[in-house]
Amino acid sequence: MIAPAMNSRTDGALTYQSLGQRKALVERVVRSEQMSRLEQECTELGDLQVKLYFDRDARYRVVVEGVIEASAKLPCHLCQESVPYILRTTFNATIASTEEQAEYWSSGEESADLNIVVIEGPRLDIVELVEDELLLDLPGQVCVDLNCGNRPAMVYDDGASDAPPDQREQRDQKDKRDQKDLLEETEELVDRQLPFLGLKAALQEIGSLPTEEGEEDI
Ligand SMILES: [Zn+2]
């Protein structure tokens, strides 16, 4: 008897390795209830449209670009009102299967700007892959600036150091001028005080004395 063929279309059968190898595009609608941590952060979370573009990089590591979209309402941190918001998250990740692997990859200079995520299970788990990225991308403030009545007023200090930039620049230029004048004055002062320069001037004066004429007179 032949065992029933495994249904390769179910997510459970899709390994990250094979998805990367096949440069697979996975498109799924994920029920909002499955994102339990995200659900706690908002209300009226709609189903999530998830697109995952898998590939492998030059070192055969599985990489994924994710695009996720969902509607929700988020509490404004200032007025506590629920504000309609479209969650849109795009992320790139390099998938490591162990902490050690992730650490090893992170230590390489060429990997400095990689977003390495550790996913221990070999098979695709969309919630595990995208929920953190969504949580990280939640906005700090959802009220559109002027719409939030509890937005703190912008107050500027009237202190002298807060002069507008153009005035500050003028002041800087004046300071530079003053310094230049001071420097020139100092140079004149040094000229007058240098003993050798004084001596030189004295010798010039002596040289210009009409002694020769006097000698001729004798
Ligand atoms: Zn608000």
Q: Give pLDDT, residue 186.
A: 52
Segments forming the whole domain that contains residue 180? 163-210
Neighbours of ion ligand 1 (CB under 5 A): 76, 78-79, 143, 148
pTM: 0.62
Q: Give pLDDT, residue 79.
A: 79
Q: Give pLDDT, residue 146.
A: 67
Task: Based on the fold, state whether residues 132 and 174 are members of the same structural domain.
Answer: no
Q: Give pLDDT, residue 54.
A: 98
Q: What's the 73 CA to ligand 1 centre distance in angstroms?
A: 12
DSSP state of 123: B
- Total domains in the chain come to 2
Task: Based on the fold, state whether residues 187 and 124 are members of the same structural domain.
Answer: no
Task: Based on the fold, state whether residues 173 and 104 are members of the same structural domain.
Answer: no
| Token pair for 20 | 């990367």
Residue 218 is assigned to a structural domain of this protein: no
Comparing C-alpha atoms, which of 67, 52, 171 is closest to residue 119? Answer: 52
Q: What's the 146 CA to ligand 1 centre distance in angstroms?
A: 9
Of the three residues 118, 147, 176, the one that is the final residue of a domain is: 147
Q: What's the 35 CA to ligand 1 centre distance in angstroms?
A: 25
Q: Give pLDDT, residue 153.
A: 65
* Residue 35: how many other CB atoms lie within 10 Å: 23
Q: Give pLDDT, residue 139.
A: 86
Task: Based on the fold, state whether residues 34 and 128 are members of the same structural domain.
Answer: yes
Of the three residues 103, 118, 147, the one that is the final residue of a domain is: 147
Q: What's the 85 CA to ligand 1 centre distance in angstroms?
A: 12
Q: Give pLDDT, residue 140.
A: 76
Task: Based on the fold, state whether residues 143 and 181 are members of the same structural domain.
Answer: no
Q: What's the 137 CA to ligand 1 centre distance in angstroms?
A: 18
Taking 70 as the pLDDT cut, the residues of the chain under it are 1-12, 145-147, 149-218
Residue ranges of the alpha helices (H) in the chain? 16-21, 36-41, 99-107, 126-136, 165-193, 195-207, 211-217
Q: Give pLDDT, residue 68.
A: 98
Q: Give pLDDT, residue 174.
A: 52
Per DSSP bridges, beta strands 25-30 and 82-96 are: unpaired
